Amino acid sequence: MKRSKKERQQLLIDTIKNNPFITDEELASQFTVSVQTIRLDRLELSIPELRERIKHVASKSFEDEVRSLPLNEVIGEMVDIELDVRAISLFDVKTEHIFKRNRIARGHHLFAQANSLAVAVINDELALTVKSNLSFVKPVKLGDRVIAKATVTKKDSVKNRTFVEVTSTVENEVVFEGHFEMYRTNEHSKGDVT
Amino acid sequence: MKRSKKERQQLLIDTIKNNPFITDEELASQFTVSVQTIRLDRLELSIPELRERIKHVASKSFEDEVRSLPLNEVIGEMVDIELDVRAISLFDVKTEHIFKRNRIARGHHLFAQANSLAVAVINDELALTVKSNLSFVKPVKLGDRVIAKATVTKKDSVKNRTFVEVTSTVENEVVFEGHFEMYRTNEHSKGDVT
């Protein structure tokens, strides 16, 4: 089904509103048009590029939404969260995060971003990491902006476990993947206690 | 075979000389005597307790021994290293390492100690973490001293991989275990290039 330009642009507006982190490439593939077409649509509609959209969303505060730890204990900048579902954070690689010798980001900073996001996404007062499996897929360099997306994949209420997958990307390329088995005190959300 | 007290004490001196990190419990089990006997032997021989022995060894510098990164990039204090075989470091948990809420050490600090030790033990100019599996066995608290021991378990010269196991303990109890698959440029030691 070929959409008219007007239909496509309306759909573009709605899609980006729902998911401000969608890339031009993802939009192009979803609408079966070229990336160039998406860029022109955005230009006509005055929708900023992904990087600018992220900055805008990042200015929102999530202080009241995270339950398992104070927001300033999240490593990186929280840009989106839906408790027990998913969370997204940004982390800018600066000189203090790299090996001096090769300017590659040190693994524990990528882990810290991912692990603190896996803690933050849990809708509970206490969340602790029990196990995790990590893959460092591609070296991350000085100046890179790492976008980590955490997704809750499974809950085991008998063992008080929640499983979280975190994928970190730099300019749409996966650089790190982590699977986290998290312990929590209570399986159920306690929205009234927040 | 029951040893005389003199024999046992001589053996104790030699054993601790070879491995300053051996605990009284390990010594007792090795000599099939009680822990109390070991303590009295140490007292008579003026051999300080483990904690003091560690401090002493820690004062030695390993600047010239680590090849894969500058010593100050190792998280924790290096106290022993034999390249491509094993390495030991200490990490004291301070207020900046804990969750404010429950005073439990944050996982990424334990990971940082273990991961940097897995890098440091590699006898190569370049070592990068490819994968790792972590178990956070027991919560670590403010004031704890974490002793991490890295052991090289396997090398795969075709894929340029070295496998390192790290076990971290607090007062002889395992608190963290990590298996690290490390990439290195070159399988062979290049002692002449150091």
Residue A65 lies in a domain: no
Chosen from A68, A111, A138, A141 to mutate, greatest number of chain B CBs within 10 A: A111
Distance CA A180, CA A83 (A): 16
Residue B192 lies in a domain: no
Distance CA A151, CA A130 (A): 17
Mean pLDDT comparison of A67-76, B20-29, B116-125, highest-scoring range: B116-125
Q: What pLDDT sits at residue B58?
A: 59
Q: What pLDDT sits at residue B48?
A: 86
**Confidence check: pLDDT of B192 > 60:** no
Q: What pLDDT sits at residue A190?
A: 44
Q: Considering only the beta carbons, identify the residue of A69, A104, A134 that sits closest to B128.
A: A104
Chosen from A73, A108, A115, A181 to mutate, greatest number of chain B CBs within 10 A: A108
Domain residues for the domain of A27 are 5-58
pLDDT single digits (tens) A63-116: 778 888 888 889 998 888 999 999 999 999 999 999 988 899 999 999 999 999
Q: What pLDDT sits at residue B18?
A: 78
Residue B193 lies in a domain: no
Q: What pLDDT sits at residue A19?
A: 77
Domain end residue (candidates: B15, B30, B58): B58
Residue B161 lies in a domain: yes
Chain B positions touching A118 (Cβ under 8 A) are none
Count: domains in chain B: 2
H or E stretch at A77: strand A77-82
Are B111 and B52 found together in one domain? no
Q: Considering only the beta carbons, identify the residue of A101, A102, A111 that sits closest to B111.
A: A111
A139/B contact by beta carbon, under 8 A: yes
Q: Quote ipTM for the complex.
A: 0.70
Residue A54 lies in a domain: yes
Are A22 and A54 found together in one domain? yes
Residue B194 lies in a domain: no
Are A150 and A175 found together in one domain? yes
Q: What percent of chain B has pLDDT over 70?
A: 91
Are A87 and A158 found together in one domain? yes
Q: What pLDDT sits at residue B190?
A: 44
Residue A128 lies in a domain: yes
Pairing between β-strand B86-92 and β-strand A86-92 as defined by DSSP bridges = unpaired
Are A83 and A154 found together in one domain? yes
Would you state the structure tokens that stand for residue A71, as one six-digit string? 């927001």
Question: Can you tell me the mean pLDDT for B32-60?
Answer: 83
B100/A contact by beta carbon, under 8 A: yes
Are B96 and B126 found together in one domain? yes
Question: Can you tell me the mean pLDDT for B33-39?
Answer: 93
* CB pairs A-B closer than 8 Å: 79
Question: Under a CB-based contact definition with an 8 Å cutoff, are residues B83 and B189 in contact?
Answer: yes
- The backbone region for A69, taken as left when phi is positive above 0, alpha when psi lies in -120 to 50, beta otherwise, is beta
Residue A194 lies in a domain: no
Q: What pLDDT sits at residue A23?
A: 86
Are A44 and A21 found together in one domain? yes
Are B82 and B42 found together in one domain? no
Q: Which residues pair with A181 in a beta bridge?
A: A131, A163
Domain end residue (candidates: B58, B79, B94): B58
Q: In chain A, which residues have pLDDT < 50?
A: 187, 189-194
Q: What pLDDT sits at residue B191?
A: 42
CB contact under 8 A, A70 and B101: yes
Q: What values do phi and psi take at B97, rounded to 5? A: -105, 0
Q: What pLDDT sits at residue B61?
A: 67
**Confidence check: pLDDT of B121 > 60:** yes
Alpha-carbon distance A157 to nearest alpha carbon in chain B (angstroms): 20
A48/B contact by beta carbon, under 8 A: no
Are B117 and B171 found together in one domain? yes
Looking up residue A135, the CATH number of its domain turns out to be 3.10.129.10
Distance CA A31, CA B154 (A): 49
CA nearest B127: which of A106, A176, A177? Answer: A106
Are B160 and B80 found together in one domain? yes
C-alpha distances in Å from residue B149, one per residue of A8, A10, A134, B90, B188: 59, 59, 20, 9, 22
Q: Mutual orientation of helices B24-31 and B35-45 as an angle, nearest 10°?
A: 110
Domain end residue (candidates: B58, B79, B101): B58
Sign of the Cα torsion A111, A119, B111, A131 reads negative
Looking up residue B40, the CATH number of its domain turns out to be 1.10.10.10
Are B83 and B109 found together in one domain? yes
Q: What pLDDT sits at residue A60?
A: 62
Q: What pLDDT sits at residue A49?
A: 84
B101/A contact by beta carbon, under 8 A: yes
Are B160 and B112 found together in one domain? yes
